[in-house]
Structure 1
Amino acid sequence: MSSRWKNTKPLNRNSRDKEDNWKRAPLRLENYSTIYPPTSPTELLYPSIHPTTQVADSIWSEFQPPANCSDRSLARSRGRDEYHRLPLSSSHRSSQLKNCYLPNLRKEVSHWTRPATPSLSLYSARLASKRTTCSVATEPPPSTTEEPEMDLPKEIFLKEYKKPDYLFDSVNLEFQLGEDKTIVTSKIAVSPGTEGTSSPLTLHGRDLKLLSIKVNGKDLKVSEDYMVDSRHLTVSRPPGGTFNLEIVTEIYPQLNTSLEGLYKSTGNFCTQCEAEGFRKITYFQDRPDVMATYTCRIEADKTLYPVLLSNGNLIEQGDLEGGKHYALWEDPFKKPSYLFALVAGQLDCREDSFTTCSGRKVTLRIWTPGQDLAKTAHAMYSLKAAMKWDEEVFGLEYDLDLFNIVVVPDFNMGAMENKSLNIFQSRLVLASPETATDGDYAAILGVVGHEYFHNWTGNRVTCRDWFQLTLKEGLTVFRDQEFSSDLGCRTVKRIADVSKLRTYQFPQDAGPMAHPIRPHSWTIFIPGAEVVRMYKTMFGASGFRKGMDLYFQRHDGQAVTCEDFYAAIQEVPPTPGQPVKEPMFIPIAVGLVDSTGKDMPLTSIYSDGMLQSLTSDGQPVFTTVLQFNKKEEEFIFNNIPEKPVPSLLRGYSAPVRLDSDLTESDLFFLLANDSDEFNRWEAGQVLSRKLMLSLVADFQQQKTLALNPKFVDGLRSILRNTSLDKEFIAKAITLPGQGEIMDMMPVADPDAVHAVRTFIKKELALQLKDDLLSTVTNNRSSEAYTFNHDSMARRALKNTCLAYLASLNEPDTTELAFIEYKSATNMTEQFAALAALSQNPGQVRDDTLLDFYNKWQHDYLVVSKWFALQATSDIPGNVANVQKLLGHPAFDMRNPNKVYSLIGGFCGSPVNFHAKDGSGYKFLGEVVLQLDKINPQVASRMVSAFSRWRRYDESRQALAKAQLEMIVSANGLSENVYEIASKSLAA
C-alpha cells in the first residue's frame, strides 16, 4: 500500500486564509495496491491471487512444516483437493498491483497427492506492478514425471465429496491389551445415510489382521460377503435398514513405531487417531463426518497397566480372573473417530476441580509417570484458567464430569484434543522453574488452552472433511492467541504470533508448497487464525461474539464446513450505515501521528464521495479501520490540522506484507513515538531489514561494512526508555532472523546474510556496551521464580542484552555470561547464559556445555534443549558435531522430540544446513532415509527442509537436488516422504 498526503482544494468554502492549507484541507490516503472486491464471504475465507495466470478452476496444494517447526501438526490426511470457486466481478478480473505484499492467495502448482499432514497457507509473493487474474482450476494438469510403483492412496477432490451412504449411530469398543498382541472388538449400530440405499459398505483399515466379521450376529464369508485389501474392507450386500456390525481384529502396538493408531510408549499403551489413525485399530468409516456415541471397555493386566483411560465418563470398573481388570467408559456426545483415545499404563495423577458457571463440579486430572508429577502444577493452572476464560469470553461451559490430560514422551503431535482425554507431548505439560524456561511456561499455557478450547471448536462442532481443517484449527488458534494475550501482554503476544507467521508461513507461501487457507497441514493453524481475526476486526468484538453464539446454536453436534461458519458470522446485527453486510478483502487499521508524536483525533472521513463519521459515542477515535475492496481506494481524512505521519496496519490488522513509501525519517519517528506498540516494533524491523539488505549488497561487493549511526541511536533510545514494557524492549532491539532476510533476496545467500547479521550484532554490542551492561545489572533479581508478565519481561530484557554482550567474545563479557550461568536459580536465566556462551567456539563453550549436560542428564526434556542449542548453532562446520550427537547415548531416533530438537534444529541454521560444500544436505538426506523406516510421518517433516532448494545459487541447487533424487529413488520409501520429496523436486 502506498500513501500520498496532498493539499487539495479546501472543503471549507468559507475559509478565509488560503495559506492555512493543512487546517482546511482534508488528508488523502490513496491506496495504490490492487485489492479484489469480494462478492461473497467465501472469497474472504478462500482468497486467490496469482500473477499472470488465467481464470480457471484452481488446484489445492499442501505442505509439511519446515524441519525446525516446533508447533503441533496433524496426522496423515490423504488426497488432492480443488479450490472453492471464487465469485468475482468481471470488471475486476484484471488489475494493477503496486507496493503491497498480499498473503496468498495462491500459487500455481502441478500434479500432487496429499502428504502426511493436512495443511493450509497464505501466499506472500510480491505482486508488484503485474497484471493479475484470479485463477481457479477443476483438476490438475497431467503428471509430467513417472512415479515409482508404490501403494499410493486414491487421490481425492473436494468436488467429489458426498455424504456417507451409511451412518454409525453408536460404537461399542472392547480392547484386550496383551504383551504380544491386542484384540479389538467393535460393535457398531449402522443405519442408511439415505433411505433405500443398496450401496456396499466400505470401511478403512491399515495393518490389521481380521479375525471375524458379523452382520446381525451372522458370520460373513470372504469373497462371497465381503472383500479385503490393504486399505479397505467392503461388505458387498449390507441388509436394508438398520443393522449391527461386529468386527474383531488383531493388532500389534508393540511393533508400531509410526506412533499412529494404538502403540506403546515407554511401556504404556497410547493412541493417536487424528487424522486417519483409527483405521489402524479396527475397520471403520474413518472420516470426520461419521459421528457416533462411543463406549469403550478396556481389559489389561492390573499390575502392568493399573490405569485404564478413554473418552467420556468412567461408568464401571472391576477385577477379572488371571490378575486382570477392566474399565468401561462412556462418551454421551457424538464424535468422529479421530477423537477416540485410549491410554493404559502405570501413571500417577494430579487432581483438582473446577466449578462451572452453572455450578457443576468437574474433576480435573493430569496423568504422568510418578517422577514427573511435581512438574504438572502449571499445566493444571493453565487448564483452570482456560476453562474460566472460555466461559467469560465466549460463554462456553465444559460438558462432562471429568477432564483428563495424559503426558506421553513419544508423541508425533504437540498435543491432541481427544474428547475429555487430551494427550500431550511431555514438553507441553511438564514444567518447573529449575527445568523449564519462560518460553516453555508460556507454551504450556497456550497449548493447554488450545486443546481445551477444541472441546467446542473442533469436538462439539467438528469439520465435515479434512478440507475444512481451518474451520477447527484456525478458529481454535485464534482463541488460544486471545487467551494468552488476555493473560499476558497483548502487544508482545501479537509480535510473537506475527514473527511466527513470517518465519514459517510466508516462506512456504513463496515456495512450491504454497496454497490457500483450505486445506491441509500445520500451517493451516496460523493463517487460519489471521482470517478469523480479520472477521473480529471487521465486525467488532460484540458482533463477532454474536456470530459465534449463532454458530454454536446452529451446529452443535454437527460436522460442518467453513461456509457454515461465515454464514453465522455474517448474520450479526448490521453495522450502522451498512444494513447489508459486504465482506471486505483486507482491513487496514490506521492512525495519524502529529509532529509531537501524539495520535490525531479522527472525526470523519470521505470514502466513495460520502462523508462518514468516525466518532464513537460522540467522541473522536484515534485508530480507524479502512475497508479496501477495490483495486484503488482514496480515503480523505477531514479536519487534519497538519501533515501527519501515517501509522499503517496497526496491530497487524491483516496478514499482509506491506511496502509503503514511508521515509527513513518517518520510520525513526514512529519507532520513537507511535502509540501502537506493534507498529513501533514494526518500524524498527523495517529499518533493520533495509539496513541488513543494504549491507548484504555491500558484503557481496566486498565493500567495507559500516553501521548507520541513526540506527544505533534509535535502538539506544528504545533501550533507555523506562516507560516501555521490558519484554517489548527485548523484542524491539532483536534483529530480524536470517531466514526473513534471505526471503527478501532474489537469490538467497546464507553466507552473506549470516556475516552481515553477525557484524551488526557485534557492532551494536560494542556501541551500546555501557547501556547493555547496566541493563543486565539492573534486571538481576534474587527473588524466587514466578510466572507473571513483569518477571518474564525482566528476564527477557536481561537475557537479550547478555546475548549481545557475549557476542563480542571479550574476556569481560565472557566472564559476565559465565557468572550469570553459574549463579542462575532458574532454567530461563541459566539456559540463556549457556546460549550466550555457546555463540563463540572454544574451550569455554565446550566446558560449559559439558557441565550443563552433566547436571541435567537425568531430565530428558532438558537434554532435548541441550541437543537443540548445539544443533542450531552457527559455528563453522557444525554438521560434524551434529553427526557426532546422533550417536550420543541420550539421543533416540524413535523419539520425535529428540528428532525435532537435533535434526530439525540443525535445519534451522541456514549457514550450516546450506553449507557450500553440501555437507548439510548430505547429512539430512541420509538421516531422512534412516528415519523413514522408523517413523515416516516425522521423516516427512524433516525432508520438507529441502522444499525451497531453488531459492539458492546454482551450486547449492545441484547439491540439494542430488539428495532429493537419492531420496525418491530409495527402495521401500514411504508414501509420506515420497510425496514431499517428489513434489519439492518437481517444483
Structure 2
Amino acid sequence: MDIARTPATPDGNVEMADAAVEPKDPPEIRREDYRPFAWLVPEIRLDFELGLDSTRVRAKLTVAHNDKAPHSPTIRLNGDGIVPTSVTVDGSPTQAYAMDGDDLILTLDGKAHEIGIETEIDPSANSQLMGLYASSGMLCTQCESEGFRRITFFPDRPDVLSTYTVRMSGPKDQFPILLCNGNKVATGEDGDTHWAEWHDPWPKPSYLFALVAGDLVARSDSFTTMNGREVELNVWVREGDLDRTEHAMESLKRSMKWDEETFGREYDLDLYNIVAVSDFNMGAMENKGLNVFNTKYVLADPETATDGDFDGVEGVIGHEYFHNWSGNRITCRDWFQLSLKEGFTVLRDQLFSQDMGSEPVKRIEDVRVLRAAQFPEDSGPLAHPIRPDSYREISNFYTATVYNKGAEVIRMMRTMAGEEAFRKGTDLYFDRHDGEAATCEDFIKAIEDGVGLDLTQFRLWYSQAGTPKIVVDLSHEGEEAVLKLTQMVPVTPGQGDKKPMPIPLKIALFDRDSGTHSGEQLIILDKASDTFRFAGFADKPVLSINRTFSAPVTIQRDTLRSDLVFLAQNDDDPFARYEAMQDLMVGHLVAASKGELSDSEREAGHIDIVGALRSVIEDEALDDLMRGELLLMPSQTYLAEQMSAADPARIHEEREALKRVIGCELQDEMHALYDRAATLPFSHSAEAKGARKLKTLILTYAAAHDPQKAAELAAHQYDGSDNMTDRQGALMVLTGIDSAERTGKLLDFYNRYQGNALVIDKWFALQASSLHPKVIEHVKALADHPDFTLKNPNRVRSLFMAFAGNPHGFHAADGEGYRLIADLILELDPINAQTAARFVPALGRWRKLEPGRSALMREQLERIAAAPKLSRDTFEQVTRSLG
C-alpha cells in the first residue's frame, strides 16, 4: 500500500454516518505475544448480492486445525460493526456461538469444518472508507489493515492465507462492471441482474481482498512476460477520465518489464486490473490482481497534471505492482513486520524511478521527503523502530519510519553487499519464502546467506528508533588525513541507551588545488567511535561524506564555509554537491535566526551563498533538473528541525531576507536563465522538465525581490502556459502576492477546471500553502466553499494538510493555525478516523518550538485529548504526542 504522497515542502454541515464509538484506551498489542492462529482457513467462498444501501454477504470458510499451533476448540472470527444474520457449521444452522465485543466465537468439535456466515452491510453509510463502501455510485473495498472484518467475520490477520472464490451479483444498469481478485472464471445474467465469478489461485491474507462494482470503462493493453505468457492489462476509470490514463498504462508496462530485468520477478496471473477511486484514504492498494488506486495516482495529462504528478503516477503504479512479490507472494506474518513489504517495496519503486528518470535528482527528492517527514518523526514523541514492538491502532504505523526509513535500511544492505550480491540475496528471499507469511528477520537472514554478510549487529537498525548523529573530525598529520567519526543514537520514547549500529558511509577526499579526488571509498562505522587514516596527503584535504546519502543519518562537522563553497562548486557526487549547497545556506540561516551573526558575518555569508549559486547557474555541464535542485533553498520546516527551540517567525523572516538577496544579486543571471528555459516547447523530455522546474523556481526568487514585477511575469507565464506545470507554478507564486493578478488568475483557474476534482484540489492547496499574509482567513473561507467536503480525503488533505505544512500560516503567533487544525481533527474524527489521526503529528512538534508557541500547540493537543468518544486512531496519536 502506498501512503498518500504529498510534497515534502510547500514554497459545512456533515452527516456523521459511520461514527462508531471506540474505546478511549484500547489494549496494547505486543510483538512478543505473537502466536500462530490455531486454525487454518485454506479456502473461502464469498457470495455478494450488491447494493449501495444494502449488500448481503454469504461466506463459507473451510477450516482445519493448524498443526503448528496449540489446539483450540474455539475459533475467533473478527468483526467490526457487523452482526451475523445466520451461522452454520457443516451445513447445519447453529446457535453454538457467542459474541465477544465485535468478534464471533465458535466452538468446534472436530479437526475440520465448513463454517457459513451471512451478514448484511450498508456501504453508503461507511464514511470511514474501510471495508466495503460506496464512492460516487460505485462499490469498492479497502481492507488493509483490518477492513475485511467490516465485510464478514474472519480471522483478519495477515498470517492466515486462503484461496478465494468470489461470486458477485447486482443490477446490470447500476454495476455493469464486476471486478475482484484473481482471474474471472464465469459470468451470467438473470433478467436485470448479472453476475461474475472470480478465483484467485494464490493463497492470500484477508487484507489483500478486493472488490469493485460500478459503471466503468477501461484502457486495455497486454504484456508478454519473460516466459512468453500474455497478460491482459486494464485501467478502469469513469467515462470522462479515460483520456487521462495513457501514462498510467505505460507506467504499468514499464514496471513489469523493469521488475523482470532487475529483480527477476514475473507476473503470475492472466489479468492485471487497476481501478481509480475518488474516495480513498491512502494512495493505492496492492490487492492481488486488482489494485485500487486513488484517482490522484492514475489520472494524468499535460493540461491537468504537473511533472510531479506524472512522476507520482509512475512511482505509485510501480510500487503497487512490485508488491505482487514483495507483499503478496510473500506477505507479513504480523503487522509488526509491515516494513518487510513496505520498506522493501519503497526501495524497489525508488530504484525504478531512478532508472526511468534522473538518478541523482530522484535520490535528492527521496532524501528531502525523508528529512521532511521521517527525521521529525524520529526525533519526536511518535518515534518508533521500523519494526515496532507494540501498538494500539495499527493504522497509525503506516508511517514514514516504516516506509521511507525502512527503504533506507535495506538500501544500506545493498550498498554494503554491492548490487549483484544483493540481487542474489533477494533471489534467495523470494525462493525461500514464496507463499509464506514472513518476518523482517527472514529477509535479513536471506540477504545474509545470499550475500555472505554478517548482519548480526545490523539488525539493530530494525529495533532501535532515532536518527543517528555522526560527529566528524578531520585532521591532518604529516602525510596522512585522519578522520575520526563518533556515532550517537538519541534517546527516544521507551528506549534509553542505544547500541552502536553499522553505518556505511561513502567518502571522498578532495585536493584543494586540483579540485579532484583519487576515488570514492566505503567505510563502515560500527563502533561508538573509530578513526580512519588515509595516506598520501601533503595538505589537509576537503572531505565529502555520506555521498549518495549512503546512510540515513545526520552529519555534524565544523566545516569551514570556504570548504562548503568548494564542495558546492566541485563535488562530482550530485547528492554531495547538493548537500554542500544546503549546508551552506542552513548554517547561515540557523545562525541568523538565532541572532548569532554580526552585520559583517551576515554580509560575508550572503556573498558566499550568492557566489556558489552563481557557479551553479554558469556550470554548463549541469542539466536543468539538477540545476534546479542546487538552486533550491532549504525549507523552513527543515531549518526549524536544526534548532532546539525554533521561532518560526524569525526563521521565515531570515529565509525571506536571504531569498531577496539572492533574487536581487542574481536577477540578471536568473532572468537570462528564465528566458532560455521559456523557449523550450512542451515535452516530457528531461530537458523540458528541467526548464519548467527552473521557471517556477526563478519566479519565487523574483517574488521575494520585486513582488509586483514577479506578479506580472507570473501572470504572463500563466496566460501563455500550455501545460499544468507552468500554470500551477505561476499561480503558486501569485497566491503569495497581494495583487490584482492573484485574484484574477485564481478565479480563472477555478472556472477553467470546475468539476475536475483533482485540479480543484490543487486550487485549494495552492491557497492554503501560500505566503499571503491573510492565509488563515483564506483557509477558513475555503472550508466554507461549496466544493469543500470532509467526506473526501483528497479534498481534506488538499486544504488542511497543505495548511498544516505551511509554517508561515500554521505557526501564527496567536495560535490560530493550531486551533484550526485541532478543530478539523475533532470534526473529522467521527467521520474518518484514519484521516483525522494523520493531522495530529503536525501538532506533536510542540517541544521543538519557542515557549510561547509550544504552550499554544500543547493546549490544542490537550483539548483534543479531553474530547469524548475519540477514535482509537486519534486517541493514540494525541496521547503519545503529549507524552
- Relative to the length of structure 2, the TM-score reads 0.90
Looking at structure 2, the residues matched to 303 and 451 of structure 1 have their Cα atoms a distance apart, in angstroms, of: 31
| SS of match in other structure, 1:659 | strand
Deviations 1:562-618 (A, max 9, x none): 11001110012547xx999998710011112223455433xxxxxxxxxxxxxxxxx
Task: Name the structure 1 match of 2:267.
Answer: 398
Task: Name the structure 2 match of 1:712.
Answer: 610
Once the two structures are TM-superposed, the CA of residue 151 in structure 1 deviates from its matched residue by 6.0
| SS of match in other structure, 1:332 | strand
Deviations 1:377-420 (A, max 9, x none): 00001000000000000000000000000000000010000001
| SS of match in other structure, 1:779 | helix
Once the two structures are TM-superposed, the CA of residue 979 in structure 1 deviates from its matched residue by 1.6
Task: Name the structure 1 match of 2:829.
Answer: 932
Once the two structures are TM-superposed, the CA of residue 702 in structure 1 deviates from its matched residue by 11
Task: Name the structure 1 match of 2:399.
Answer: 522
Task: Name the structure 2 match of 1:424.
Answer: 293
Task: Name the structure 2 match of 1:252.
Answer: 122
| 1:748 correspondence with 2:646 | yes
Task: Name the structure 2 match of 1:316.
Answer: 186
Deviations 1:84-126 (A, max 9, x none): xxxxxxxxxxxxxxxxxxxxxxxxxxxxxxxx9xxxxxxxxxx
Q: Is the 8 A contact 1:66 1:944 kept in 2?
A: no
Q: Is the 8 A contact 1:307 1:345 kept in 2?
A: yes
Looking at structure 2, the residues matched to 582 and 875 of structure 1 have their Cα atoms a distance apart, in angstroms, of: 47
**Alignment-mate amino acid for residue 56 of structure 2:** I
In structure 1, which of residues 168, 171, 175 is the aligned counterpart of residue 41 of structure 2? 168
Task: Name the structure 2 match of 1:761.
Answer: 659
Once the two structures are TM-superposed, the CA of residue 803 in structure 1 deviates from its matched residue by 1.9
In structure 2, which of residues 327, 337, 341 is the aligned counterpart of residue 468 of structure 1? 337
Q: Bigger CA drift: 957-966 or 288-297?
A: 957-966
Task: Name the structure 2 match of 1:896.
Answer: 793
Looking at structure 1, the residues matched to 537 and 457 of structure 2 have their Cα atoms a distance apart, in angstroms, of: 29
How has the CA–CA distance of structure 1 residues 573 and 851 changed in structure 2, closer, same or farther, with 3 Å as cutoff?
closer
| 1:631 correspondence with 2:548 | no
Q: What is the count of residue pairs matched by the alignment? A: 820
Once the two structures are TM-superposed, the CA of residue 489 in structure 1 deviates from its matched residue by 0.7
Query: Any stretches of 5+ residues in structure 1 without a counterpart?
Result: 1-63, 72-115, 117-147, 602-621
Looking at structure 1, the residues matched to 357 and 373 of structure 2 have their Cα atoms a distance apart, in angstroms, of: 23
Task: Name the structure 1 match of 2:820.
Answer: 923
Identity of counterpart residues, as a percentage? 44
In structure 1, which of residues 527, 530, 533 is the aligned counterpart of residue 411 of structure 2? 533
Task: Name the structure 1 match of 2:64.
Answer: 191
Q: Which has the higher contact order (CA 8 A, sep 6+)?
A: 1
Task: Name the structure 1 match of 2:568.
Answer: 671
Q: Is the 8 A contact 2:712 2:741 kept in 1?
A: no
Looking at structure 2, the residues matched to 639 and 923 of structure 1 have their Cα atoms a distance apart, in angstroms, of: 60
Q: Is the 8 A contact 1:457 1:475 kept in 2?
A: yes
Looking at structure 1, the residues matched to 861 and 745 of structure 2 have their Cα atoms a distance apart, in angstroms, of: 37
Task: Name the structure 2 match of 1:513.
Answer: 382
How has the CA–CA distance of structure 1 residues 699 and 656 changed in structure 2, closer, same or farther, with 3 Å as cutoff?
closer
Deviations 1:162-207 (A, max 9, x none): 0000010011111011243111011111011127823310111011
Looking at structure 1, the residues matched to 750 and 735 of structure 2 have their Cα atoms a distance apart, in angstroms, of: 14
Q: Is the 8 A contact 2:680 2:688 kept in 1?
A: no
In structure 1, which of residues 146, 151, 155 is the aligned counterpart of residue 28 of structure 2? 155
Deviations 1:772-825 (A, max 9, x none): 100110011353x32232221121122211221133334433322211110010
| 1:360 correspondence with 2:229 | yes
**Alignment-mate amino acid for residue 217 of structure 1:** G
Q: Is the 8 A contact 1:175 1:297 kept in 2?
A: yes
Looking at structure 2, the residues matched to 574 and 286 of structure 1 have their Cα atoms a distance apart, in angstroms, of: 37
Task: Name the structure 2 match of 1:8.
Answer: none
| 1:201 correspondence with 2:98 | no
Task: Decide which structure has greater helix share.
Answer: 2
How has the CA–CA distance of structure 1 residues 467 and 380 changed in structure 2, closer, same or farther, with 3 Å as cutoff?
same
Q: Bigger CA drift: 661-670 or 961-970?
A: 961-970
| SS of match in other structure, 1:435 | coil
Query: Any stretches of 5+ residues in structure 2 without a counterpart?
Result: 11-18, 389-396, 460-500
Q: Bigger CA drift: 513-522 or 350-359?
A: 513-522
Q: Is the 8 A contact 2:8 2:372 kept in 1?
A: no
Once the two structures are TM-superposed, the CA of residue 367 in structure 1 deviates from its matched residue by 0.2
How has the CA–CA distance of structure 1 residues 151 and 978 changed in structure 2, closer, same or farther, with 3 Å as cutoff?
closer
| 1:958 correspondence with 2:835 | no
How has the CA–CA distance of structure 1 residues 563 and 573 changed in structure 2, closer, same or farther, with 3 Å as cutoff?
closer
| SS of match in other structure, 1:807 | helix
Q: Bigger CA drift: 747-756 or 939-948?
A: 939-948
Task: Name the structure 2 match of 1:487.
Answer: 356
Task: Name the structure 1 match of 2:693.
Answer: 796
Task: Name the structure 1 match of 2:372.
Answer: 503
**Alignment-mate amino acid for residue 745 of structure 1:** M
In structure 2, which of residues 764, 778, 788 is the aligned counterpart of residue 867 of structure 1? 764
Q: Is the 8 A contact 2:24 2:870 kept in 1?
A: no
Looking at structure 2, the residues matched to 415 and 178 of structure 1 have their Cα atoms a distance apart, in angstroms, of: 24
In structure 1, which of residues 573, 593, 606 is the aligned counterpart of residue 510 of structure 2? 593
Task: Name the structure 2 match of 1:653.
Answer: 550
Looking at structure 2, the residues matched to 295 and 176 of structure 1 have their Cα atoms a distance apart, in angstroms, of: 15
Task: Name the structure 2 match of 1:885.
Answer: 782
- Relative to the length of structure 1, the TM-score reads 0.81
Looking at structure 2, the residues matched to 372 and 667 of structure 1 have their Cα atoms a distance apart, in angstroms, of: 49
How has the CA–CA distance of structure 1 residues 551 and 847 changed in structure 2, closer, same or farther, with 3 Å as cutoff?
same
Looking at structure 1, the residues matched to 103 and 270 of structure 2 have their Cα atoms a distance apart, in angstroms, of: 37
**Alignment-mate amino acid for residue 506 of structure 1:** F
Looking at structure 1, the residues matched to 713 and 564 of structure 2 have their Cα atoms a distance apart, in angstroms, of: 34
Task: Name the structure 1 match of 2:810.
Answer: 913
| 1:338 correspondence with 2:211 | no
- Compare CA radii of gyration and give the structure with the larger one: 1
Deviations 1:58-80 (A, max 9, x none): xxxxxx99998799xxxxxxxxx
Q: Bigger CA drift: 753-762 or 695-704?
A: 695-704
Q: Is the 8 A contact 1:68 1:900 kept in 2?
A: no
| SS of match in other structure, 2:175 | coil
Q: Is the 8 A contact 1:65 1:522 kept in 2?
A: no
Task: Name the structure 2 match of 1:723.
Answer: 621
Once the two structures are TM-superposed, the CA of residue 939 in structure 1 deviates from its matched residue by 0.8
Q: Bigger CA drift: 460-469 or 504-513?
A: 504-513
Q: Is the 8 A contact 1:198 1:240 kept in 2?
A: no
How has the CA–CA distance of structure 1 residues 848 and 548 changed in structure 2, closer, same or farther, with 3 Å as cutoff?
same
RMSD, aligned CA:
2.3
Task: Name the structure 2 match of 1:547.
Answer: 425
Looking at structure 1, the residues matched to 760 and 47 of structure 2 have their Cα atoms a distance apart, in angstroms, of: 39
Looking at structure 1, the residues matched to 598 and 612 of structure 2 have their Cα atoms a distance apart, in angstroms, of: 27
| SS of match in other structure, 1:456 | coil
Task: Name the structure 1 match of 2:673.
Answer: 775
Once the two structures are TM-superposed, the CA of residue 976 in structure 1 deviates from its matched residue by 1.6
- State how 1:215-294 maps to structure 2 within 5 Å: 215-221=89-95, 225-235=96-106, 237-294=107-164
| 1:974 correspondence with 2:871 | yes
Looking at structure 2, the residues matched to 952 and 698 of structure 1 have their Cα atoms a distance apart, in angstroms, of: 16
Looking at structure 1, the residues matched to 527 and 72 of structure 2 have their Cα atoms a distance apart, in angstroms, of: 51
Looking at structure 2, the residues matched to 787 and 149 of structure 1 have their Cα atoms a distance apart, in angstroms, of: 48
In structure 2, which of residues 296, 310, 324 is the aligned counterpart of residue 455 of structure 1? 324
Looking at structure 2, the residues matched to 455 and 882 of structure 1 have their Cα atoms a distance apart, in angstroms, of: 40
How has the CA–CA distance of structure 1 residues 332 and 701 changed in structure 2, closer, same or farther, with 3 Å as cutoff?
same
